[in-house]
Amino acid sequence: MKTPSAIQWFKSREGIYYVLLALLLVVVLPLTLDPFRLSMAGKYLTYAFVAIGLVMCWGKAGILSLGQGIFFGLGGYCMAMFLKLEASTPEATSIQSTPGIPDFMDWNQLTELPWFWQPFHSFTFTLLAIIGVPVLLALIIGFTMFTRRVGGVYFSIMTQAVAAILTILIIGQQGYTGGVNGITDLRTLMGWDIRTDSAKMTLYFICVALLFACLFAARMVQERKLGRILVAMNAQETRVRFSGYDVAAFKIFVFCLAAAFAGIGGAMFTLIVGFMSPSFVGIVASIEMVIFCALGGRLSILGAVYGALLVNAAKSGLSESFPEIWPFAMGALFIGVVMAFPNGLAGLYQTYVQPLENRIFKRKPVEAESDSAMAKVQKVSAEENEGFDSSIDNYSTEKS
Amino acid sequence: MNAAKRKDGDFLLAVEGLTVSFDGFKAVDDLSFYLDPKEIRVIIGPNGAGKTTVLDLICGKTKATTGSIKFAGKELTKLKEHQIVHCGVGRKFQTPSVFEDLTVFENLELSYPRGHSVMGALAFKRDAKVIDAVEEVAATIFLSDALNEPAASLSHGQKQWLEIGMLLIQKPDLLMLDEPVAGMSVAERKKTAELLRVITKNHTVLVVEHDMQFVGDIADRVTVMHQGKILSEGSIEHVKADPKVIEVYLGH
């Protein structure tokens, strides 16, 4: 990104929305919440990674994955495996019949570390695996589905099936995965105790930083021609194909992108919460993730972040006082969103609040839009096409 | 004449023995025809004759059961749709299919033949060359003033033109148009005929059309199809005078 354009962008309306979110996450929440609540907010934000991926995959490209928990879980398990190995030093596990292996393996009569656990001694490998493993699985699922032109509801059902299979696999292979309890009792990351209040604070800020990295990555894809192809593909797949694009390749790409985001979110979840279990992988968890995205607005990456924060805050609030009501509230919320405002909070914001903003700041919508359009950055030479500027940039993707 | 030319092998498109059967029903049955470069060929015939299926087969939307489609020496029947597009075959569908959420400019830009891979689309830059090409095509299809309108706001006829424009910007050697004037007003029809006359100066065009007056206006040669087979082929006068054609098609 060129510096002058970046400064210009921060002054634009879209830039202001990003600044406001950054202020909320970096200043307001840390100042108003106690460390426990802040850590909870961090946990909610890890779901926002998944929701951003779903905006790209479902909102933009029309591929509804009901199995994002798979990728969230894989990222989370990769991180958990590393932390578990670090916590399972021979000294710390000296009471086991085989010291030096994770406790649940010992309980399940395993006497040595399975081969696929070995590389997770390396932190570098773990970091690569957090993105690589989810992306690899997404690549396999995407390739088998999309090159055969499986789409729509059939694809959604397939992702549900994979989520179910993975859950059953994790629960069934207790000795290798920790089973239904998951991988628990995680203590340190490279010797740094992640259970203290100050560590939780630091992890929260790392999470926010990574979230913004993912937001900007998603934003860049949206603003490029690639983003417009995704939108075009959603409505007119055949036309995209006959405009010379290999539709399957683009679907695989966006599905893998969403998987990568989810993997990062899962890894941060493990760090913040201190454990990983199959309940975050399964069908219910995956559908909840779709609800975060739908409520926030499935066309808006910023909306998805707010959606993840709000739904999870509501979930904690409600289930603390009325645990049995929450599933019904969640169901009602989803039905409400689909029936009443299909574009979620971001859609409501665009319809009702933005016109108000326009009046308050006395900006004409056209000006406001065109000065924010990042398409300018992409243009090789702005000089060559003066007079075109304000006009071609008018198509601006969803903001807020 | 056909036989002599066939030996030279200078056809742009050579369809030979093309057959497709859907559950035993032969929608196209042992069809052969040849297109010269820069020729304008119109396929006519009663409903269900297999006209649209022929276009589907050439552009790869439907896979042939047997037979061959050679385009500029390349066999198309084994290629995927986007590969056929890259060979230089453009296809317009019967109902206008444009990207309604995008502007006219973006519709044309997406069809510009560059950055077709995932990485290419990520790296694609809207440079002066692209803008020039888009403006040029927009002028041809009467949409210069609508470049920044969302395609959803265009009239039916304008959408048809936009889709033709999306083909033109691909610079295809062969343009296939399925009923380009269907559902158009009289004025739009006239303008479309004018548009096609411009286009056909530089392209080979294969059109499926019902409107006989329009066919007479544009066609070099006409192929009449009936029940998946060719009934008659030749100039418009020739097929109009053919008793078989009058019997199954024009007579009704």
Q: Do B125 and A242 touch (CB under 8 A)?
A: no
From the candidates A146, A148, A243, A247, which should be mutated to test the interface with B, based on the most B CB atoms within 10 A? A243
Mean pLDDT of B30-58: 91
Average pLDDT over residues A240-265: 96
pLDDT digits (tens, 9 = 90+) for B136-183: 999 999 999 999 999 999 998 899 999 999 999 999 999 999 988 888
pLDDT bracket for residue A384 (50, 70, 90) = very low
Count Cβ atoms below 10 Å from residue A136 Cβ, excluding itself. 14
Q: What mean pLDDT comes out for the span A120-145?
A: 97
CB contact under 8 A, A380 and B81: no
Task: Answer whether residue A5 shows pLDDT above 80.
Answer: no
Evaluate whether residue A3 is within a structural domain: no
User: What is the mean pLDDT of the segment spanning A50-62?
Assistant: 96
Model confidence at A10: pLDDT above 60: yes
Asked if the structure places residue A375 within a domain, the reply is no
Total of domains in chain A: 1
Q: Report whether pLDDT(A250) > 90.
A: yes
Contact A141, A162 (CB under 8 A): yes
* Residues B141, B39: Cα–Cα separation, whole Å: 21
Average pLDDT, whole number, for chain A? Answer: 87
Please compute the mean of the pLDDT values over residues A104-116 and round it to a whole number.
93
Q: Which two tokens stand for residue A368?
A: 């406001």
Question: For residue A220, is pLDDT > 70?
Answer: yes
Residues in chain B closer than 8 A to A255 (CB atoms): none
Answer whether B124 sits within 8 Å of A235, measured CB to CB: no
| Domains of chain B from N-terminus onward | 37-62+83-250 (3.40.50.300)
> Residue B252: its pLDDT value, please?
53
The predicted structure's pLDDT at residue A379: 38
Note whether residue A285 is domain-resident: yes
Distance separating alpha carbons of residues B193 and B150, to the nearest angstrom:
25
Q: What is the DSSP string of A71-88?
A: HHHHHHHHHHHHHHHHH-
Nearest to A375 among B86, B91, B126 (CB): B126
Q: In this structure, what DSSP letter does residue B60 have?
A: T
pLDDT at A341 over 90: no
> Tens of pLDDT along A161-185?
999 999 999 999 999 999 999 999 9
Tally the residues of chain A: 400
Q: Which comes out higher in pLDDT, residue A375 or B235? A: B235
Residue A316 burial by Cβ neighbours in a 10 Å radius (0-12, 13-18, 19+): middle
Q: Is A366 on the interface with B (CB under 8 A)?
A: no
Q: Cβ of B114 under 8 Å from any chain A Cβ? A: no
Which residue out of B110, B135, B149, B163 would a mutagenesis test of the A interface target, given it has the greatest number of A Cβ atoms within 10 Å? Answer: B110
pLDDT digits (tens, 9 = 90+) for B75-128: 999 999 999 999 999 999 888 889 998 999 999 999 999 989 999 999 998 999
CA dihedral B177, B183, B185, B190 (to 10 degrees): 20
Residue-level pLDDT at A144? 96
CB contact under 8 A, A246 and B113: no
Give the residue with greater pLDDT, A390 vs A338: A338
Residue A137 lies in a domain: yes
- Cα dihedral: B108, B109, B112, B116 (round 10): -130
What's the rounded Cα separation, in Å, for the pair A382 and A196?
Answer: 52
Q: Is residue A144 part of a domain?
A: yes
pLDDT at A364: 52
A236 closest CB neighbour out of B97, B103, B147: B97
DSSP type of residue A91? T
Contacts of residue B93 in chain A, CB cutoff 8 Å?
A: 238-239, 242
pLDDT at B225 over 80: yes
Predicted confidence band of residue A373 (pLDDT cuts 50, 70, 90): very low
* A392 domain residue, yes or no: no
pLDDT digits (tens, 9 = 90+) for B180-222: 888 888 888 888 888 888 888 888 999 998 888 888 888 889 9
What number is the average pLDDT over the span B15-42? 91
- Residue numbers in A near B96 (CB within 8 A): none
How many angstroms separate the CA atoms of A202 and B128, rounded? 47
Interface test with A, best of B92, B93, B111 (most A CBs within 10 A): B111
Decide if A304 is inside a domain. yes
Q: Is the pLDDT score of B47 beyond 80?
A: yes
Residue with tokens 């192809």: A229
* pLDDT per position as a tens digit, A186-218: 999 998 999 999 999 999 999 999 999 999 999
pLDDT digits (tens, 9 = 90+) for A274-315: 999 999 999 999 999 999 999 999 999 999 999 999 999 998
Domain extent, residue A267, equals 45-308
Closest partner CB to B111 (pick from A243, A375, A384): A243
pLDDT of residue B7: 44
What is the crossing angle of helices A225-235 and A247-273, to 10°? 110
Cα–Cα nearest to B184, from B218, B209, B219: B209
Kindly state whether residue A371 falls inside one of the protein's structural domains. no
Q: Which residues of B touch A224 (CB under 8 A)?
A: 121-124
Cβ–Cβ of A225/B166 closer than 8 Å?
A: no
The ipTM estimated for the assembled molecules is 0.88
Band (A385; pLDDT cuts 50, 70, 90)? very low
* Model confidence band, residue B20 (pLDDT cutoffs 50, 70, 90): very high
Using CA atoms, how far apart are residues B220 and B38, in angstroms rounded to an integer?
Answer: 10
A102-111's contacts with Cβ under 8 Å and 24+ in sequence apart are A102/A178, A102/A183, A103/A185, A104/A174, A104/A175, A104/A178, A104/A179, A104/A181, A104/A183, A105/A175, A105/A176, A108/A174, A108/A175, A109/A175, A110/A175, A110/A176
- What pLDDT shows up at residue A249? 96
Distance CA B119, CA B123 (A): 6
Cross-chain CB nearest to B99 (options A224, A235, A385) = A235
Distances (CA, A) of B212 to B39, B49, B193, B231: 18, 16, 13, 17
